[in-house]
Amino acid sequence: METIKTIVDEHISFRAQIFNLAKSDLIKTYRGAALGWAWALIKPMITLFVFWFAFTIGLRAGGKVEGYPYFLWLEAGFLPWFFMSELITGGAACIRKYSHLVTKMKFPISIIPTYVNISHLYTHIFLCVVTVILYMCFGYMPDIYLLQIPLYMLMMFLFFTVWALFAGLLSAISKDFQNLVGSLSQAIFWMSGIIYNVDTIQHSWVRLLLKFNPVTVISSGYRRTFIYKQWFFEDKVELLCYCVTLFVFTLGALWAYRRLRKEIPDVL
């Protein structure tokens, strides 16, 4: 509880700096590029086109899903992945990346993962708006199910902020941990149901195991919103699995922060 109080107090004391640093980080990401903010849209579109071409043209496995073109089904699952993929590896590297804040001034380490995630969240919100417009261009108008997108954003933001604090601290102590996370990122992608429906897996124990992966839960949630028209509470097992995983990683992050925060400046 003492560690939680410390982290909360740090966030309250530096609340203005959090949003200023997030804005600065976002500007720095696209500074110097001729197309600027357009890259926030171009990069995801290139990725989607490659997968659409591979599955629809190459493998010819891109039939309609629930009456929606396969491209839109793919887009719904990839939409949160663009945020999550950045934070899986970027979260693990965030404290090392901004080590100057820790070593050259008295700056609370717990703030770094928060403002990095907020910076990426701005881009994600922009992509969500573009996705809604894309669906409208195909003739699918916004409906009441879109109201649960902010909930999935919050779930995504909470978990990956906790993850970034946990992984960032361990990576600051050991570069091997950061390299391990980078090596596992592709495995997480292929085992998270981004390009397939987890509910169609035959083995029930595999489906249950995958639901402990927040990437699976959130990408499935976005598809429930855009494609399947289901509410977040309709799969209570999935929500419970997410809460268990979030709780475990929160305990890990609190332990790492309590044990390592005083050592980080010397290590970096």
Separation between Cα atoms, residue 183 and residue 52, nearest integer Å = 25
Q: Give the bridge partners for 65, in sequence order.
A: 68
Structure tokens at 107: 């700056």
Instruction: Report how far apart, in Å, the C-alpha atoms of 187 and of each of 112, 183, 205 are.
Output: 26, 8, 19
Phi and psi at residue 225, to the nearest 5°:
-75, -50
Our count of domains for the chain comes to: 1
Which of the pair, 233 or 71, is modelled with greater confidence? 233
pLDDT for 118-160, tens place per residue? Answer: 988 888 888 888 889 888 988 899 899 999 999 999 999 999 9
Reported confidence tier of residue 38, pLDDT bands at 50, 70, 90: low
pLDDT for 176-234, tens place per residue? Answer: 888 888 888 888 888 888 888 888 888 888 888 888 999 999 999 999 999 999 999 88
Using the CB atoms, write b or e for 50-77: b if 16+ within 10 Å: ebbeebbeeeeebeebeebbbbbbbbbb
Separation between Cα atoms, residue 82 and residue 51, nearest integer Å = 14
Neighbours of 124 (CB within 10 A): 19
Instruction: Report how far apart, in Å, the C-alpha atoms of 163 and of each of 67, 156, 214 are.
Output: 36, 10, 11
Separation between Cα atoms, residue 80 and residue 155, nearest integer Å = 11
Q: Which domain holds residue 44?
A: 2-267
Residue closest to 83 by CA, chosen among 34, 132, 116: 116
Q: What is the pTM of this model?
A: 0.87
Separation between Cα atoms, residue 251 and residue 128, nearest integer Å = 31
